[in-house]
Amino acid sequence: MRIGLLNGGGDCPGLNAVTHGVVGTATRLGWEVLGFRDGYEGLLAPGDYKILKVEKTEGILKLGGTILGTSNRGHFAGKVGEGGVRRIPKELMEAAFQTLRRLDVSALICVGGDGSLTTALQFHEEGFPVVGVPKTIDNDLDATATSFGFDSAVQVVTEALDRLHTTAESHRRVMVLEVMGRHAGWIALYGGIAGGASSILIPEIPFAYEKVAEAILERERLGFHSALVVVAEGAAPAGGSLVVEDAGGGGEVRLGGVGDLVAKRLAELTGKETRCTRLGHLQRGGSPTCLDRVLGMRFGVEAVKLIEEKRFGRMVSYQQYHVGSVLIEDAVRKLKLVDPEGEIVEAAKSVGICFGD
C-alpha cells in the first residue's frame, strides 16, 4: 500500500515530527509514503514528490520548518478572508486525483490549519480518501485542545519579553511587542503572562488606549518606570478596525502594524518613550519544543492508524491528554477563540495585567 503526505499553510515547528511519526508507523505496516513538495501544489501533474523512508526521517524531530516544503498560496487556497471558504474548481481537484491515482496513492494525509483542512474536506467530499492533521501556531482550531507549533511560538514570545525587560528597565521605556495569532489571542495571552507583560491586548477584548495608558501611569506611581505591552496582530480598539498589511488579493488578508499604532498612541497619552518590536516570522522558525516534538509525532502515528482503520474524512485531535479524531467538517466549522470571561483571563487580571477593557 502507498499513502501520500503533504503540508499546507504556513510553516510551523513540529511538522517534521509529524512526518517522522507517519513514516515510522507506515513502514512498520509495510506501506510506502510519498511526500508531496510545497503542499497541494505538489499534486499537480506530473506531481512533485519524494519517497520517504525511515533512514531519511530518523533525525528530523529536532528540525524546524518542513523537509517537504509548504505553501499558503496558489491553486488550492481554501480560505478567502475571515471565515470565507473558496470552493476548489472540480477540474483542479480532478488533476490532483489523476496524479494520485497514477502514483497508486490509496489515501492522503493533509497537515494544515483551517484553510488547508477546508481543502482536505473538499477532497473527501469528492470521494478521495483523506485524513487531516491540525497544524497551527495560532491554536485556533476548535476541535483540538492544542496543536503542535503553539508551544514553540509561545516560547519565542516569552524569550523576547525576557530580553525586552532589561532594555525597558534600563531606559524607563514602554516596550510594545506585536505577535501573531490572526483572529485569536492565544499566543499573546500565554506569551504575555509567561513573559511578565503588564498589558495584553487581544482580538477577543476590544481595548481603549486610555485604559492601557492609565495602567502604565499607575505602575509609574508605584515606582515601576517601565512597562511591557503585548499586542496580538488582530487586536483592535473598541469601535476600531483591524490593521491590514496586505489585503491578500481576494484571499486571506495579512495582518500587521497594530503594534506601531499602539506604541505611538501610548507615547502621546503617557509622555513616556515608547518602542515597538514586531516578532513576525521568528515565531514560526527554529527547533520545536519538547512538547511540540512529541505531539507532532503522536499526530503522525494517529493519522496512519486512521487510514489503517479506513476512517477517512477525519482529523486527528488532542483532547484531555489523549490523541483521537473528529470529523474534519466539525474541525473547520468555527475558530477557537479566547473567552474574555474565561479562567485564564480572570487569572491574568487577578495579578494586575491590563487588557484595556
Which active-site residues does the annotation give?
A: 138
Angle at which helices 258-270 and 209-221 cross, to 10°: 50
Q: What distance in Å separates the CA atoms of residue 149 and residue 152, rounded to the nearest whole number?
A: 5
| Helix (H) / strand (E) containing 228 | strand 227-232
Q: Which strand ranges, in their side-by-side order, compose the sheet holding 32-36?
A: 49-52, 32-36, 2-7, 107-112, 130-134, 314-319, 322-327
Separation between Cα atoms, residue 283 and residue 224, nearest integer Å: 29
Integer Cα distance of 187 and 336 in angstroms? 13
Task: Give the span between the Cα atoms of 11 and 70, in whole angstroms.
Answer: 7
CA geometry: angle 144, 23, 306, nearest 5 deg:
45
* Residue in this structure with the C-alpha cell 477577543, named with its chain if needed: 204
Q: Which residue has the cell 477517512?
A: 312
Q: Other CB atoms closer than 10 Å to residue 324's CB: what's the count? A: 13
Report the C-alpha gap between 133 and 61 in whole angstroms: 17
* Cell numbers for 64: 524546524
Grid coordinates given for 192: 504575555
Which residues pair with residue 40 across a beta bridge?
A: none
